[in-house]
């Protein structure tokens, strides 16, 4: 028997209700302030009326178009040609599959357009009342409707009122002042904006014919405590530059930076006449131009004037934004015009491109020595001289190849400060134009008037509390309290240095009767040469000794060769080159580091020698990829053993197979290691190493004034904090038919093993691609409970889950299933064991932002962002859940983004301030840095553990293929179990390996 959706068990799930009162109302807790937020109130018509809803299927022949970038423009073009749905302001379209109209269509269904080519099918689905007094059942659909009403004028600019507005603003050259991509409306201005936004980077020109343009997004939020709001935000992306000559692209690739018109005319014109394009630059050009829409013209491209000077002005003014039959899609670069031949259709003879232009068009090419640009054409070979090709007139979104320099330039030149973003958003929300760009939203446009929607023109204000910080404790009871809520402090890069906690230098044991053994680190070096090189560059051992001295100075003992002169022992040093060595030799090297250690290095009975290998990579994977696009980060192709996003095989061999600690660094990075406390960089490396080997550098004060932390770390009623995240395969692996098990997702669960919630251990498991719910979650929770119990001789009385990674639409289902798994995990241990359960969802995928109303409350070095520890509980939080926003990120470049927390379930009886203050405290405990972080440390640890498990999965798979000439069989229980074991750390490694 089928069960209705409403009757499914998870849909009957209720959520934890918001506690009475708020932190803001508690005058003695933290200090209070008022902030702006990027929300504006939305008002619906006071008198409700009927809206008719239709399903729309936009098709090309039999192919259904589901992407808004295809479906939206096609639908509107069909309507324009067939004069269907006129006047157009009485309907709105969501750009995919839904149409809403204030007038009922003559028929309930029909087909519009040419069924063999472009057409759409419409079908009436329902009608409903629309107004402020009407309760909306489907929140998502209702939100989409209001969004479509507010943005239809921009998404369908050919409306009469919008074109009149453009003409009034002297923008008659352009078809539209916005380019819509997904939910963003990107401004296409004809001139730089006036300097009224604190020099905000609204429009930035990069090299290679790429411009950065700013987009505006509007998200309609329902069921907020303030009512319905429109959440405005900004984004930036790359567009092609109108009329940009491809020859200029070539020059800027050679030069490595943007050139001016004068530079081209005075310097490069003459050089290009005699130049040839190198193979490297030709490959870069092809990667940049790949599938790009270009324009060919002999009339308006590049010309010499009477004095012999070069000019490229005409095309920018003539035929602007007009469709052109000479627009084409780039296919490839071919031979030079003086050498590239083709068969002339008229004469049936072979001739060069240069000969053709001279005889048929009476044009002597200026640059016959440069490659021609071939058009993508299935029927015949068509190639144009480079000097006659430009980027098209209308800017196109660019998602092609970008150099490292361009990426760095984009980051450096396009970040909005908090002040810039606030001023620009206030201007946009007030519905004012930006130079020649009409307002993105206008209450007076025909769509807004016909549907009766009004959006207020000012930002909402919210009450906020800056929470009191916890006290951080280092070895020797050295304490630090963040009294000014800066979210940053010094530890190793100060004098005197703050050292590790005294007890953390001993091996952690599950048997309390075992004698204490002090850890002593023994270093070794593995150098990885770049592909194609016989050997890696030499390194200076002084940097190694500096690093080991820094570790010892931090309080973690190391093995010395000669401590008096600061010379640490180097167990072994070896280099790997793909030209000379097999991958198995790395495995043998790691194994050798584990043998005969005590015989040579152990000095005392109460110590244990811990090997750690520093893996020095000559090149970063992304750097190599830039030089050669054919390089993939896979061992079975060219370059698996390269530092980058994935040094998968090395990680697998060390962390999972051999059981040896490693720390990877680039060659250039290794050479920056200096003395402490002078070197900030060295301190970051040391913090990371301490975390990996399980040496706790700091804790939070359990005896101080932070009541929430005192409650959590109560040894008589201890707490297990779980961080949970899922790492999914990248888009390349998802599309790759040969990716095999690399298409699987990996879920990781981390949990503390100590009462003081500092040391975390992880376990990982495989699951179906894209699945967010943790399969067999109860076994992972039981493993974490057991680990905690063994280390502390007491079961956790409270289990707190910080869950990352899923959307509001999945709240009921995943909460129901995972809460049940946690309860069942307890029953597996003991039917009478019933710890309290708290389940908090953590999300940063939102667009809500906060700004200081009084900048004197901010810190100049943090660009006047809201302070770390800023809590917002009202106005823009929901009516449906107990949720809050907490900003803990230290904003140094752009705008600090708050994290949105949903306390979906809670059986631990606590006061209203408990969960915000505990969450804030946990952002001080991330071991890799001495700053607060954007989410609680367990969430970051879970993310890092899942990412690392996914990388070691790829490494294990590649080696298995190499050894067995087949993939793991995911239909085989034995193979699944074996691969799951392979992605979890070696049992001999006790530490936070994932950091």
> Which tokens in the block code for residue 571?
């167990």
20-47 residue pLDDT tens: 989 999 999 999 999 999 999 999 999 9
Band (pLDDT 50/70/90 cuts) for residue 316 is very low
CB 619 within 8 A of CB 633: no
Band (pLDDT 50/70/90 cuts) for residue 169 is very low
598-628 residue pLDDT tens: 888 998 899 999 999 999 998 876 666 555 5
**What is the spatial distance between Cα 108 and Cα 57, in angstroms, rounded to a whole number?**
14
Residue linked to tokens 């929140």: 139
Q: So what's the pLDDT on residue 304?
A: 45
624 or 58, greater pLDDT: 58
Bridge partners (DSSP) listed for residue 13 = none
> Which tokens in the block code for residue 166?
């453009």
pLDDT of 692 over the 90 cut: yes
- For 390, other C-beta atoms within 10 Å of its C-beta total 27
Average pLDDT of the residues in 633-658: 59
pLDDT of 685 over the 70 cut: yes
Element (H, E) at 406: helix 404-414
> Which tokens in the block code for residue 538?
């030499």
DSSP secondary structure of 3-31? --GGGSGGGG---PPPPSS-STT-TTSSE
DSSP designation for 157 = T
Average pLDDT, the chain: 88
pLDDT of 629 over the 80 cut: no
- Selection from 568, 208, 583, 144 nearest residue 406 by Cα: 208
**What is the spatial distance between Cα 535 and Cα 537, in angstroms, rounded to a whole number?**
7
768, burial (CB in 10 Å: exposed 0-12, middle 13-18, buried 19+): exposed
> Which tokens in the block code for residue 487?
């979210």
- For 199, other C-beta atoms within 10 Å of its C-beta total 10
529-578 residue pLDDT tens: 988 788 888 888 999 999 999 999 999 999 999 999 999 999 999 999 98
Q: So what's the pLDDT on residue 647?
A: 59
pLDDT of 488 over the 90 cut: yes
What's the sign of the alpha-carbon dihedral 907, 913, 918, 919?
positive
953 or 372, greater pLDDT: 372
Q: Helices (H) and strands (E) in the chain — how many of each?
A: 26, 42
pLDDT of 5 over the 60 cut: no
Average pLDDT of the residues in 377-381: 83
**What is the spatial distance between Cα 672 and Cα 684, in angstroms, rounded to a whole number?**
12
CB 881 within 8 A of CB 902: yes
Average pLDDT of the residues in 708-729: 96
Q: Is 411 left (phi over 0), alpha (psi -120 to 50) or beta?
A: alpha
Band (pLDDT 50/70/90 cuts) for residue 678 is low
Q: Is 951 left (phi over 0), alpha (psi -120 to 50) or beta?
A: alpha
Ordered domains of the chain (ranges, CATH): 49-190+211-233+420-455 (no CATH), 246-306+323-393 (2.170.260.10), 518-693 (3.40.50.2300), 699-849+897-983 (3.30.420.10)
**What is the spatial distance between Cα 967 and Cα 252, in angstroms, rounded to a whole number?**
45
746-763 residue pLDDT tens: 999 999 999 999 999 999
> Which tokens in the block code for residue 797?
């009385």
Average pLDDT of the residues in 305-310: 46
Helix axes 811-829, 777-792, angle to 10 degrees: 50
DSSP designation for 385 = E
Buried b / exposed e along 130-146 (16+ C-beta atoms within 10 A): beeeeebeeeeebbbbb
CB 897 within 8 A of CB 870: no
CB 231 within 8 A of CB 849: no
Band (pLDDT 50/70/90 cuts) for residue 317 is very low
- For 379, other C-beta atoms within 10 Å of its C-beta total 5
**What is the spatial distance between Cα 658 and Cα 652, in angstroms, rounded to a whole number?**
8
CB 935 within 8 A of CB 885: no
730 or 160, greater pLDDT: 730
pLDDT of 838 over the 50 cut: yes
CA torsion 725-730-733-734 (nearest 10°) is: 80
923-953 residue pLDDT tens: 999 999 999 999 999 999 999 999 999 888 8
DSSP designation for 562 = E
Average pLDDT of the residues in 338-359: 91
Q: So what's the pLDDT on residue 628?
A: 57
Q: So what's the pLDDT on residue 303?
A: 45
Question: 3-state DSSP call for residue 609?
Answer: strand
Buried b / exposed e along 651-675 (16+ C-beta atoms within 10 A): bbbbbbbbbbbbbbbbbebbeebee
529 or 86, greater pLDDT: 529
**What is the spatial distance between Cα 324 and Cα 299, in angstroms, rounded to a whole number?**
13
State what percent of residues in the chain have pLDDT above 90: 61
Residue linked to tokens 């301030």: 913
State what percent of residues in the chain have pLDDT above 70: 90
Average pLDDT of the residues in 586-601: 91
pLDDT of 281 over the 60 cut: yes
Band (pLDDT 50/70/90 cuts) for residue 260 is confident
984-993 residue pLDDT tens: 999 999 999 9
pLDDT of 68 over the 90 cut: no
CB 258 within 8 A of CB 911: no
Q: Specify the pairing of strand 760-767 against strand 745-752.
A: antiparallel
Residue linked to tokens 């939080």: 877
- Selection from 496, 494, 493, 500 nearest residue 477 by Cα: 500
Strand ranges, E, within 618-718: 661-666, 699-700
Element (H, E) at 123: strand 118-130
Q: Specify the pairing of strand 178-181 against strand 118-130.
A: unpaired
Bridge partners (DSSP) listed for residue 539 = none
pLDDT of 355 over the 80 cut: yes
């Amino acid at each position: 028997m089928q069960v209705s959706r409403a009757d499914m068990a998870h849909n009957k799930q209720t959520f934890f209700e918001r506690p009475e009162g708020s932190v803001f109302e508690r005058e003695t807790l933290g200090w209070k302030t008022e902030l702006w937020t990027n929300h504006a109130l939305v008002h619906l018509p006071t008198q409700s009326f009927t809206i008719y809803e239709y399903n729309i299927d936009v098709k090309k022949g039999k192919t259904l178009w589901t992407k808004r970038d295809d479906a939206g423009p096609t639908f509107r073009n069909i309507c324009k040609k067939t004069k269907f749905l006129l006047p157009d302001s009485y309907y709105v379209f969501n750009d995919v599959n839904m149409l809403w109209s204030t007038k009922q269509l003559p028929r309930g269904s029909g087909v519009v357009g040419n069924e063999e080519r472009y057409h759409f099918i419409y079908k009436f689905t329902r009608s409903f009342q629309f107004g402020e007094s009407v309760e909306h059942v489907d929140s998502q659909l209702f939100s989409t409707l209001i969004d479509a009403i507010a943005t239809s004028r921009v998404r369908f600019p050919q409306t009469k009122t919008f074109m009149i507005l453009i003409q009034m603003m002297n923008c008659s050259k352009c078809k539209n002042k916005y380019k819509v991509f997904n939910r963003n409306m990107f401004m296409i201005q004809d001139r730089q904006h006036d300097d009224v936004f604190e020099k905000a980077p609204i429009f930035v020109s990069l090299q290679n014919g790429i411009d950065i343009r700013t987009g505006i997004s509007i998200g309609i939020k329902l069921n907020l405590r303030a009512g319905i709001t429109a959440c405005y935000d900004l984004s930036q992306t790359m567009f092609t530059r109108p009329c940009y000559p491809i020859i200029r692209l070539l020059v800027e690739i050679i030069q490595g930076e943007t050139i001016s018109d004068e530079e081209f005319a005075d310097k490069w014109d003459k050089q290009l006449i005699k130049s040839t394009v190198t193979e490297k630059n030709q490959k870069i050009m092809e990667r940049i131009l790949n599938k790009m829409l270009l324009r060919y013209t002999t009339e308006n491209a590049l010309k010499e004037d009477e004095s012999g000077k070069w000019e490229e002005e005409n095309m920018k003014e003539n035929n602007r934004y007009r469709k052109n039959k000479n627009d084409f899609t780039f296919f490839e670069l071919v031979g030079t015009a003086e050498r590239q031949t083709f068969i002339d259709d008229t004469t049936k003879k072979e001739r060069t491109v240069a000969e053709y232009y001279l005889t048929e068009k009476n044009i002597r090419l200026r640059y016959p020595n440069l490659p021609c640009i071939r058009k993508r054409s299935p029927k015949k070979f068509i190639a144009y001289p480079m000097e006659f090709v430009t980027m098209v007139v209308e800017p196109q979104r660019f998602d092609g190849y970008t150099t490292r320099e361009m990426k760095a330039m984009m980051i450096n030149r396009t970040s909005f400060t908090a002040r810039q973003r606030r001023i620009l958003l206030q201007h946009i929300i007030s519905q004012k134009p930006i130079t020649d760009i009409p307002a993105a939203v206008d209450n007076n446009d025909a769509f807004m008037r016909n549907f009766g929607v009004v959006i207020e023109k000012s930002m909402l204000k919210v009450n906020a509390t800056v929470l009191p910080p916890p006290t951080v404790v280092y070895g020797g009871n050295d304490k630090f309290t963040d009294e000014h809520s800066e979210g940053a402090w010094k530890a190793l890069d100060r004098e005197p240095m703050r050292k590790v906690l005294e007890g953390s230098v001993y091996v952690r044991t599950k048997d309390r009767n075992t004698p204490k053994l002090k850890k002593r680190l023994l270093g070794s070096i593995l150098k990885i040469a770049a592909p194609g090189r016989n050997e890696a560059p030499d390194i200076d051992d002084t940097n190694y000794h500096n690093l080991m001295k820094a570790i010892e100075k931090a309080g973690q003992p190391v093995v010395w060769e000669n401590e008096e002169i600061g010379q640490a022992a180097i167990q072994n040093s070896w280099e790997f080159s793909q030209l000379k060595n097999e991958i198995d030799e790395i495995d043998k090297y790691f194994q050798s580091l584990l043998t005969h250690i005590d015989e040579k290095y152990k000095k005392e009975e109460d110590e244990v020698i811990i090997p750690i290998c520093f893996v020095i990579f000559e090149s970063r994977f992304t750097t190599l990829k830039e030089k050669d696009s054919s390089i993939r980060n896979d061992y079975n192709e060219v370059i698996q053993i390269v530092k980058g996003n994935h040094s998968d095989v090395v990680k697998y061999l060390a962390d999972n197979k051999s059981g040896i600690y490693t720390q990877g660094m680039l060659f250039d990075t290794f050479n920056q290691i200096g003395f402490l406390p002078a070197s900030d960089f060295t301190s970051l490396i040391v913090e990371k190493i301490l975390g990996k080997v399980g040496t706790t550098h700091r804790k939070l004060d359990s005896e101080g004034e932070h009541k929430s932390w005192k409650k959590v770390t109560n040894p008589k009623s201890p707490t297990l904090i779980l961080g949970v995240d899922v790492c999914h395969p990248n888009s390349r692996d998802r599309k790759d038919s040969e990716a095999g098990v690399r298409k699987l997702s990996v879920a990781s669960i981390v949990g503390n093993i100590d009462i003081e919630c500092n040391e975390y251990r992880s376990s990982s498991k495989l699951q179906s691609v894209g699945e967010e719910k943790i399969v067999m979650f109860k076994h992972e929770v039981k493993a974490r409970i057991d680990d905690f119990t063994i280390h502390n001789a007491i079961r956790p009385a409270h289990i707190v889950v910080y869950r990352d990674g899923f959307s509001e639409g999945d709240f009921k289902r995943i909460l129901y299933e995972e809460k049940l798994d946690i309860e069942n995990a307890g029953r597996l241990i003991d039917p009478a064991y019933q710890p309290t359960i708290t389940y908090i969802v953590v999300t940063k995928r939102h667009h809500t932002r906060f700004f200081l109303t009084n900048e004197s409350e901010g810190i100049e070095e943090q660009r006047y962002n809201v302070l770390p520890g800023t809590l917002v509980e009202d106005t823009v939080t929901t009516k449906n859940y107990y949720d809050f926003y907490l900003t803990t990120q230290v904003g140094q470049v752009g705008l600090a983004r708050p994290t949105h927390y949903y306390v979906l379930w809670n059986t631990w009886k606590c006061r209203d301030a408990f969960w915000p203050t505990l969450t804030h405290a946990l952002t001080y405990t991330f071991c890799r840095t001495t700053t607060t972080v954007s989410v609680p440390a367990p969430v970051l640890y879970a993310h890092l553990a899942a990412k690392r498990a996914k990388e070691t999965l790829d490494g294990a798979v590649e080696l298995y293929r190499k050894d067995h000439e087949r993939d793991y069989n995911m239909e085989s229980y034995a193979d699944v179990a074996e691969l799951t074991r392979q992605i979890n750390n070696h049992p001999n490694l006790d530490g936070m390996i994932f950091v």
